[in-house]
Amino acid sequence: MKVKHLEIPLNKRLTSLSSWLADKHQRLGLITSIDGSQLITLVLDPQQGSAQLWESPLSGDEYPSLTPLIPQCHWYERAVWDLFGLYPNGHPRLKQLLLHEVYDPHFHPLRTIARLPEIVSATQRKYEFLKVEGEGVYEVPVGPIHAGIIEPGHFRLSCLGEEILNLEIRLGYLHRGIEKQLSKIPWQKARFLAEAASSDTAAANALAHAQAMESLVQIQAPPKAQYLRSLSLELERIAMHIADLGGMAVDIGYLGMASTLARLRGSALRLADLLTGTRFQRGFILPGGVHKDPDKQLSTIRHETHKLKVSLEPVITLFVENSSAQERMETIGRVSPSLARDFGLVGIAGRASGIAYDTRQHFPQGIFPTHAPPVAVETKGDVSARIKVRITELFNSLALIETLLEEIPAGSVLSCVPDKLPANSIGVGIVEAFRGELIHLVFTGADKAISRYAIKDPSFNNWTGLSIAVRGNLLADFPICNKSFSLSYSGHDL
C-alpha cells in the first residue's frame, strides 16, 4: 500500500487534522515521530482506501497538544512524550504511559537526536491517579498482577457504593522495547520479533509486517501465498473469537458453555497447526509469501473446518438464545457511537458502536479486494453488541475459509525478496487483526536500514473505550465489560 507523504507545518497540524476528521468516515491512523525532530501523523481515508503521512518538523521539544480539541490524540501524545521526550503543551491529563518510575527521568528510548537542555525538568516520572473525591467514594485497585493467568495491567476503580464513577487504566508493565529493537536487528530477521509484538495476534502482526516490508521493497507475494495468508489470518480470528466468547461465558458463570467453547477453540487451534505447523501460527507469514506450502493438509483442513462449523452452530445458538445470558449482557458497558468516533475506537468495539470500519473492506490487500466479508455492525454499543459482532464475524470467517479453500490456486508460495532496502522510504501495512485495525509503519534512513519501526495495535485505541464503557456501571459488571473488549496488554505496551 502506498502512502502520500506531505509536509504539514506544526501550526497547521490542528486545522489539517480537524478538517480531515470532520468527514466522519476519515480516520486518524497513528501519531508518532521518527527520531524526535518531527511529528508523524498517519491519516486514513477508508472510503478511498488511501492514506497520507503528514510530517511536521519540530524546532524544539515542545509542540501544541491537539488533545483538547481532538480527544483521540491523548494516548498518542502520552506515548510520544515517553518515547521521544516531546512535550505536548496543553495536554489536559499528561502522565506517563509506557515508562514507569524505575526509568531514568531523562531516558527517552526512541530519541536519537541530541536533547535541548531547557525542557529537561518537564519530564518527571511521577504517576498520580485521578482522584475522585466525595462522601462514600472509595478506590478499588486491581492488578497489575491478576487472579488469573493473564497479562499485567493496573485498573484503578473509583466507586460510590456499587457504581463505578471512574476507571483509570495504567499500562506499560510489559514494555519490552520492541519498536526500538526492530530498528536495530537485521531487517531479514525482524519478522520473528514483529510477530511477537502481541503473541495471540501472531498471524496478523506477521502479515502487517510482511505487507509493510513488501510495500517498502515493492514486491508482491504470489497468489497462492495470498490465499494461505488470508487462511492463516482468518483461522486466528476464529480461534480468538471462540476463546473470547468462552471467556465471556466464564465471566457470566455459564460454565457448560465455557467448557464447550474452550474445547472448540482447541479445534480451531488445531486447524492453525495443520496449516502452519504451530498452533499460534508463529513463523508462517513472512515478507514475500509464506514459509511453507501446506498443500497436503488442505483437504484435511477443509474437512475439519466444516466439522468445526457444524459443531459451533448449535452451541452459539444456545448461547445467543439463553435469555438469562442475554439479560446479563444487554445495556451493560455501553459506548455511544459519538464517543466511539471521538476516541477513534477500532475493530469489534468500534463496530459494536456503529462504526462500519473493517480494514479488510477499506484497505483491502491480498485476496480481500474480491473476498472481503461484509462488515458486521451493531449500533447499541453494549456488551451484547460486541458479542454479536464477534459471532457474526466468526461465521463470516468460517464461510470465507471454505471459499478460499475451494478457490486456492496452484503455484509457488514465496517471491524473491531483494537484499537491500531502498533509502529514505516508507512502508505501511494495515491488517484487520481479530481485535481490529493493526498498523505497521516502517521508515528507512539514508543508510538503507530501518530507522524507525512503529506498530499500532488495535488495543492502543480501545483501552480508552473500556474506561468509557464501565463508567456508571456496577462494579460487579466490570469483568464482563473488560472481557467484551478483550484487549491486549503486550500489544499496547510493546
Partner 1 sequence: MSIILQWVSFWLSLLVLPLLLLGVIRKLKARLQNRIGAPITQPFLNFFKLMNKTETISETSSWLFRTTSVINLASVLLVAFLAPWLSYQPAIPGDDLFLVIYLLALVRFFTILSSLDTASPFGTFSSAREATLSLLVEPAMVLSLIALALSQHSTSLSKIFAFLPEISLASLPLWLLAGAGLFISSLCELSRMPIDDPTTHLELTMVHEAMIIENSGKNLALTELSYALRMAVLFGLCAQCFLHALCCIWHPNVLQQSLLSVVFLFLVGFATALVEATAVKLPWRTAPNFIAYGLTMSLLAAFVAIAQGSLK
C-alpha pair distances (Å), 442 with each of 20, 209, 215, 354: 23, 9, 10, 31
472 makes contact with partner 1 (CB under 8 A): no
Non-local (6+) Cβ contacts of 303 within 8 A are none
Q: In this chain, which of 241, 328, 360, 440 binds partner 1, going by CB under 8 A?
A: 328
Q: Which amino acid is at 191?
A: R
**Residue with Cβ nearer partner 1 (55 or 139):** 139
Range 367-375 contact pairs with CB under 8 angstroms and sequence separation of 24 or more: 367/226, 367/227, 367/230, 367/404, 368/230, 371/230, 371/400, 371/403, 371/404, 373/397, 373/399, 373/400, 375/351
The number of beta carbons lying within 10 Å of the beta carbon of residue 423 is 12
All three cell numbers of 167, joined, read 476507571
Binding to partner 1 (CB under 8 A): which residues in 242-301?
250-256, 258-260, 263
- How far is 374 from 397, CA to CA, in rounded Å? 10
Strand order in the sheet with 450-456: 426-433, 436-444, 450-456
Binding to partner 1 (CB under 8 A): which residues in 110-139?
138-139
Q: In this chain, which of 69, 116, 120, 140 binds partner 1, going by CB under 8 A?
A: 140
Non-local (6+) Cβ contacts of 348 within 8 A are 386, 389, 390, 393, 435, 436, 485, 486
- Region at 86 (left for phi over 0; alpha for psi -120 to 50; beta for the rest): beta
Task: Answer whether 365's CB lies under 8 Å from 319's CB.
Answer: no
Q: In this chain, which of 162, 295, 313, 407 binds partner 1, going by CB under 8 A?
A: 162
CB of 340 to partner 1, least distance (A): 24
Q: In this chain, which of 22, 102, 114, 147 binds partner 1, going by CB under 8 A?
A: 147
**Residue with Cβ nearer partner 1 (169 or 376):** 169
CB of 306 to partner 1, least distance (A): 22
Q: How many residues bind partner 1 (CB under 8 A)?
A: 34
CB of 488 to partner 1, least distance (A): 19
Q: In this chain, which of 227, 478, 485, 489 binds partner 1, going by CB under 8 A?
A: 478
**Residue with Cβ nearer partner 1 (443 or 478):** 478
All three cell numbers of 143, joined, read 492488578
Binding to partner 1 (CB under 8 A): which residues in 192-251?
250-251
**Residue with Cβ nearer partner 1 (259 or 424):** 259
163 makes contact with partner 1 (CB under 8 A): no
**Residue with Cβ nearer partner 1 (113 or 262):** 262
Q: In this chain, which of 94, 132, 399, 475 binds partner 1, going by CB under 8 A?
A: 475
Which residues contribute to the site for partner 1 (CB under 8 A)?
138-142, 146-148, 159, 161-162, 250-256, 258-260, 263, 322, 324-325, 327-328, 332, 474-479
